[in-house]
Amino acid sequence: MIQGHRLREAREQHALSQGALGKLVAKDGAYISKIERGVLVSVNTTTLERLVTALDTSADYLLGLSDQQTPAAPTPRRKGPARNGPHAKTAPLTAQPDAACLRVPLMCPHCAMPMQPLGDGARVGCPGCRYSVAGAT
């Protein structure tokens, strides 16, 4: 549940009106007003992500899970010899990696399920909603 007073504080710190913030997150000013007044207490993850990005704050802060307003710094990557295992790099990155280099399955944008190869070999599809993409394999 998003905390309206925290959203208002973060918005005012960035000198944004409700309408301006609404445009940044693909909503209108009335939507932002409803959140701030507590009429609307839940938002979808896409909207939350857009609010966090627009206000340069953390999702935990807006949700009332943390008092730390600024997002935590990303954990630095470990430097050293390459690791063995599923996340080890097997080849240098190229502009168009082939399917054999991909270690993480493609995820369906609708239901976040892993995409699976379809019978024709040239497409991948979601087993949940039947969304498919050509040339992703």
> What pLDDT score was predicted for residue 102?
44
pTM of the prediction? 0.53
What confidence score (pLDDT) does residue 126 get?
A: 79
Structure tokens at 128: 């949940």
pLDDT confidence of residue 12? 94
Could you please report the per-residue DSSP string of 69-100?
-SPPPPPPPPPSSPPPSTTS--S---SS--GG
Chain position carrying tokens 């710094």: 73
Cα dist from 80 to 37, 58, 77, whole Å: 50, 30, 10
| pLDDT for res 91 | 52
The rounded distance, in Å, linking the Cα atoms of 135 and 108 is: 15
- Domain borders along the chain are 4-62, 99-137
Give me the residues of the chain with pLDDT under 70, please.
72-106, 121, 135-137
Domain 4-62: give its CATH code: 1.10.260.40
